[in-house]
Amino acid sequence: MQEPWKTDKWFVSPWNYLPEVTRQSGFPANIKIHDVTLRDGEQQTAVVFRREEKVAIARKLDALGVHRIEAGMPAVSPQDRAAIADIAALGLKAEILGFSRCIPAEVKVVKDCGCSGIVIEIPVSDHMVKNAYGWPFERALKASIETTRAAKEAGLYTVFFTIDATRTELPRFLDIVEQVATEGHMDALTMADTVGGTHPGAVAYAVKKVIERLKKPVEIHGHQDFGLGVANTIAALAAGSTVAHTTITGLGERAGNVPMEDVVLALKCLYGVDLGIRTEKFCEVSKFVMDLARVTQPPNRPIVGDKLYEVESGIIAGWIRLARKEHPLEYVPFSADLVGQKPVNIVLGKNSGPPSMDEWCEKLGVQASDEEKMQMLQAVKAKSFEKKDLLTTEEFKTIVANILQKAAV
């Protein structure tokens, strides 16, 4: 019988599902993923998506099952505007939203592109308005009210996006967003942790306070500057947020946005919250987007890394050989096919051990004594030190031939 922490696709900690743990979370029903790859993701230095590439990415996101696609900001360029219109005209299942500054004229452009909703951004912290924009705060507040009203009049689902929300004193933040909601308009509020400077406990507390005060849906938009974006996003959702803003594989400026794959898979396996995203397409979509972005990810990147399921350690190779037929989740937390990964593969390198030699001799149909296999192992280690890399199949075949030839003399 399957348990929520142990299925045929994943095996995680039973601690996650202790009643004392699960009752601390209040995940709302119908959580949505709002993908910002085409706007915030493209803000990563040197990343450029052409018009046709944005359309292709949107199609991939829709096939993945993403609920909302932020198609871009029309004001950036004529090409961006055209791409947004193209995406809105595709008839995708995902909701298509455009992005704008707090300028009423930009609302009309988003509407003309055919979007069903709009994300309207403005800094909400007094210090950023003053120091980064050079405005009096009253100007920002007035622009927020006027632009959100314009969005309502245009019939757009309006998401008010508060830049630098988490570096604003909470009482001040609550007063500001309540004023905009009352004098202007918002269907939902996005709390942006713009520089990733908060932690899960603080996010959860603030989300609850905002929901209590506004009685509006709250969305969470995080960044990875301190490596806590995924944890913060999940904490916000557990506290009642209904939408998570993410990008494919964390694409985004500085340390990146919150990676969609990490949030979705953690919710599914660790919390028992299934968002309906087709996780088996993760690697395919990640590679597609990263290739277009010309961005290289670490080979051990969680979930989608190219070498994630390559095993060099002799100890782990031993585990695999003993357990893979009947207990394949003893040495990995989730199956390769759950995320579209390549199957677990034992490779040859400096950290290989006797089980690695057994694996490769069987793989190549080589008959060798234990002593000969030990000689092979030492030669593998020496070759790996020499080239500072793994060995190829041909390099191992050469080692095998040399050792067996000597033994035959």
165-203 burial: b if 16+ Cβ within 10 Å, else e: bbbbeeeebbebbbebbeebbbbbbbbbbbebebebeeb
Q: Report how far residue 11's alpha carbon sits from residue 329's, in angstroms, rounded to the nearest whole number.
A: 6
Per-residue pLDDT of the chain (409 residues; tens, 9 = 90+): 479 999 999 999 999 999 999 998 999 999 999 999 999 999 999 999 999 999 999 999 999 999 999 999 999 999 999 999 999 999 999 999 999 999 999 999 999 999 999 999 999 999 999 999 999 999 999 999 999 999 999 999 999 999 999 999 999 999 999 999 999 999 999 999 999 999 999 999 999 999 999 999 999 999 999 999 999 999 999 999 999 999 999 999 999 999 999 999 999 999 999 999 999 999 999 999 999 999 999 999 999 999 999 999 999 999 999 999 999 999 999 999 999 999 999 999 999 999 999 999 999 999 999 999 999 999 999 999 999 999 999 999 999 999 998 877 5
pLDDT at 409: 59
pLDDT at 406: 80
pLDDT at 294: 97
- Going from N- to C-terminal start, the domains of the chain cover 14-293, 310-408
Residue 69 in tokens: 């696609």
Residue 39 in tokens: 């706007």
- In angstroms, the Cα distances linking 253 to 43, 66, 230 are 5, 22, 16
pTM: 0.95
Residue in this structure with the two tokens 């990008």, named with its chain if needed:
247
CATH architecture, range 14-293: Alpha-Beta Barrel (3.20)
Report DSSP letters for 186-250, one per residue: -SEEEEE-TT----HHHHHHHHHHHHHHH-S-EEEE-B-TTS-HHHHHHHHHHTT--EEEEBGGG
Report the amino acid identity of residue 10: W
